[in-house]
Chain A
């Protein structure tokens, strides 16, 4: 299990890129399901699990539902002590 870690600004982008299979430099703060075609309901679940694994945190159902954009993901991670 990975320890809780301070995320580099692009660590989050790298995880997101790896989950969806897209280049990391196409991931921006505004990125959201409408702007990334690979981001569907099934891959959203993979994303949540990948984030939990990568940053050693645990999300609530509400967190999972509110991860509507990369910016929001960063805010939610920040609430868990992962600074980006």
Chain B
């Protein structure tokens, strides 16, 4: 059987042809299925008695093949067969080879209804059936134009180490192409890329300084050029944490954080959003911190100011970009054992762990799992949220 490829749009004049062989076994099966054991269909001797040279196939067999073509090809899945007129012009005998043709005569975009003419001819080219059909085509309620995760491209900033690296691994394991952005840790970034590729994933490392808007913009453009698109942006890059007591805090202390978190996000967003709007799919996921929730630890004001600013950006993006199918969210993990917390004494970490309801600190994988969900097509309704990943503390 031959089928023609059906593109998404159906135009008037489109045809669909298929050929079916009328075997005795097919007729037998139909007789079984329908219960119609009229001897003319199944018994050669009887058929002759009624004046037919050979057993005659059920006319309804042609209808079943028509059902297949309408339901699978034109218009295809979602089709609803509204009505059909049919004239069986000549008998179809066991042993015949029938060619069925559908032609789209009329398309009504408003109602989604197609008018089709249906015709069947046998191996001698003689018409055995002709008729007309009306078929309604329905669309899925939510247009899931997004391709499967396997074809998505994700950019992970701060992706060479710690939580970022865990996220990169996890997204790659889900089948995404992962762009790993690093500022200075080239060796770690390339080692990570090799590791991912060694596991069968797709990844590439890109250098950029996210505090510099030009560098950030270049990064996004490079990724789009190299990977073809940019669907998921995970922004976790951070300057090292520095404790500054409040009376001593000045604006200049805030700058590295603000420019990396907020400035970096803005520059990347500017480049990535147009493509996302076109494809009606996008994911912005930024890293916050559990320190934003509840009483903040002392001396971290600069860091917190910038994370809160970033949160404000996330909420605005969620509201403005949501209609285009782009979700924006923040993930705020609790204390995680990474370079960032390396200077915190082991005892303090252990106490924090044991005071946690889950009796442990967060691991980078905990955050990676949540980010992977947010990045997936399945999380299409989760928008504008700051999700605490704290173990309940």
| Chain A residues near B (Cβ < 8 Å) | 32, 34, 66, 68-69, 71-72, 75-76, 79
Closest residue of B by beta carbon distance from A62: B351
A75 near B347 (CB under 8 angstroms)?
Answer: yes
Find chain B residues with CB under 8 A from A79 CB.
347
B354 near A76 (CB under 8 angstroms)?
Answer: no
Q: Taking the nearest CB of chain A, how far is it from the CB of B309, in angstroms? A: 35
Having A69-B350, A69-B354, A75-B347, one finds 6 other A-B pairs with CB under 8 Å, namely A34-B359, A68-B351, A68-B354, A68-B355, A72-B347, A75-B350
Cβ of B346 within 8 Å of any chain A Cβ, yes or no, is yes
Q: Tell me the bound Cα distance from A68 to B351 in angstroms.
A: 7
Find chain A residues with CB under 8 A from B355 CB.
68
A71 near B350 (CB under 8 angstroms)?
Answer: yes
Find chain A residues with CB under 8 A from B354 CB.
32, 68-69, 72
Interface residues of B in 348-392 (CB under 8 A from A): 350-351, 354-355, 359
Q: Taking the nearest CB of chain B, how far is it from the CB of A80, in angstroms? A: 12
Find chain B residues with CB under 8 A from A71 CB.
350
Find chain B residues with CB under 8 A from A76 CB.
347
| Chain B residues near A (Cβ < 8 Å) | 346-347, 350-351, 354-355, 359
Q: Taking the nearest CB of chain B, how far is it from the CB of A57, in angstroms? A: 15
> Is chain A's interface secondary structure helix, strand, loop, or mixed overall?
helix
Q: Tell me the bound Cα distance from A32 to B354 in angstroms.
A: 9
Q: Taking the nearest CB of chain A, how far is it from the CB of B348, in angstroms? A: 9
A66 near B347 (CB under 8 angstroms)?
Answer: yes
B351 near A66 (CB under 8 angstroms)?
Answer: yes
Q: Tell me the bound Cα distance from A29 to B136 in angstroms.
A: 68
> Is chain B's interface secondary structure helix, strand, loop, or mixed overall?
helix
21 A-B pairs with C-beta separation under 8 A: A32-B354, A32-B359, A34-B359, A66-B347, A66-B351, A68-B350, A68-B351, A68-B354, A68-B355, A69-B350, A69-B354, A71-B350, A72-B347, A72-B350, A72-B351, A72-B354, A75-B346, A75-B347, A75-B350, A76-B347, A79-B347
Q: Taking the nearest CB of chain B, how far is it from the CB of A64, in angstroms? A: 12
Q: Tell me the bound Cα distance from A8 to B203 in angstroms.
A: 48
Q: Taking the nearest CB of chain A, how far is it from the CB of B372, in angstroms? A: 28
Q: Taking the nearest CB of chain B, how far is it from the CB of A44, in angstroms? A: 13
Q: Tell me the bound Cα distance from A20 to B346 in angstroms.
A: 27
> A-B pairs with the 8 shortest C-beta distances?
A68-B354, A75-B347, A66-B351, A72-B350, A69-B354, A71-B350, A75-B346, A75-B350
Q: Tell me the bound Cα distance from A18 to B346 in angstroms.
A: 27
Q: Tell me the bound Cα distance from A72 to B350 in angstroms.
A: 7
Q: Taking the nearest CB of chain A, how far is it from the CB of B356, in angstroms? A: 10
Q: Taking the nearest CB of chain A, how far is it from the CB of B355, in angstroms? A: 7
Q: Tell me the bound Cα distance from A19 to B305 in angstroms.
A: 49
Q: Tell me the bound Cα distance from A45 to B347 in angstroms.
A: 20
Closest residue of B by beta carbon distance from A35: B359
Q: Taking the nearest CB of chain A, how far is it from the CB of B360, in angstroms? A: 10
Find chain B residues with CB under 8 A from A75 CB.
346-347, 350
Q: Tell me the bound Cα distance from A69 to B350 in angstroms.
A: 9
Find chain B residues with CB under 8 A from A34 CB.
359
Q: Taking the nearest CB of chain B, how far is it from the CB of A75, in angstroms? A: 5
Q: Tell me the bound Cα distance from A76 to B351 in angstroms.
A: 11
Q: Taking the nearest CB of chain B, how far is it from the CB of A34, in angstroms? A: 7
Q: Tell me the bound Cα distance from A66 to B348 in angstroms.
A: 9
Closest residue of B by beta carbon distance from A63: B347
Closest residue of A by beta carbon distance from B351: A66
Q: Taking the nearest CB of chain A, how far is it from the CB of B249, in angstroms? A: 28
Q: Tell me the bound Cα distance from A72 to B347 in angstroms.
A: 7
Q: Tell me the bound Cα distance from A27 to B287 in angstroms.
A: 39
Q: Taking the nearest CB of chain A, how far is it from the CB of B357, in angstroms? A: 11
Closest residue of B by beta carbon distance from A66: B351
Q: Taking the nearest CB of chain A, how far is it from the CB of B220, in angstroms? A: 45
Find chain A residues with CB under 8 A from B346 CB.
75
Q: Tell me the bound Cα distance from A76 to B350 in angstroms.
A: 11
Find chain B residues with CB under 8 A from A72 CB.
347, 350-351, 354
Most buried by B among A32, A66, A79: A66
Q: Tell me the bound Cα distance from A71 to B350 in angstroms.
A: 8
Find chain B residues with CB under 8 A from A68 CB.
350-351, 354-355
Q: Taking the nearest CB of chain A, how far is it from the CB of B210, in angstroms? A: 37
Most buried by B among A32, A69, A79: A69
